[in-house]
Amino acid sequence: MDRRAALKKTAMAAGSAALVPSLFSLLQSCQKKPRLSWEPIFLTVNQAELISTLVDTVLPKTETPGALDMKVDLFIDVVFAKLFNKTAQQTMIAQMEQFNTTCEEKFGSIFSELSVQDREEFLKEEESASGKYNGKVWGTAVGEQKPVGFYRTIKSLALWGYFSSEEIGKNVLNYDPIPGEYLGCIPLSDVGKTCSL
């Protein structure tokens, strides 16, 4: 082998050795980015990633299914598209942008790119700062409801979508479509799981 070819091969080997860690870290960073497995009908892809990450943080998968298992993010997208009027839709979009802006100011990244610990810390702050829903009597809110903000709205929609899903209603909560005898006075510890009906 001549000297020039040997030097060329050595330089290529050294260059590829230096390049491999960079390519590996680039590949890992791409794998960490959230990817949607569904196509939003109202939200943009970035907005849908925010909603998916948020509901997954609020209701993660444990020994019971998580929000993403129950497709709560799709549910919220449909609610925005079908139930919110134009004004409410625009308000939600503006609040989403503000949510991510605040997140970037505090943590240097948008919400969907934060670590789990940073997401949880940010949501604790949002929990204490956001408005509350009025109490209800027979399903009707008492008094005039003030705006509760983006986080509280999404959390409420996530809980609604999660607990009204068939899987959670039948397999996680106590499902008894044809109740048996009426027992009016039993210890609370004997009740067991919350009823879905």
Mean pLDDT, all residues of the chain:
81
pTM above the 0.75 mark? Answer: no
Contact 196, 170 (CB under 8 A): yes
The per-residue pLDDT for 76 is: 95
Query: Which tokens hold the place of 111?
Result: 């919400």
pLDDT tens digits, one per residue of 103-159: 999 999 999 999 999 999 999 999 888 888 778 777 777 888 787 889 999 999 999
Domain map (residue ranges) of the chain: 33-130+148-174+187-197
pLDDT over 70 for what percent of the chain?
A: 79
The per-residue pLDDT for 112 is: 92
pLDDT tens digits, one per residue of 85-109: 999 999 999 999 999 999 999 999 9
pLDDT confidence of 184, banded at 50, 70, 90? confident
The per-residue pLDDT for 27 is: 37
Any residues with CB less than 8 A from the CB of 150 and at least 6 apart, and which? 92, 95, 96, 98, 99, 130
Any residues with CB less than 8 A from the CB of 106 and at least 6 apart, and which? 122
The per-residue pLDDT for 2 is: 61
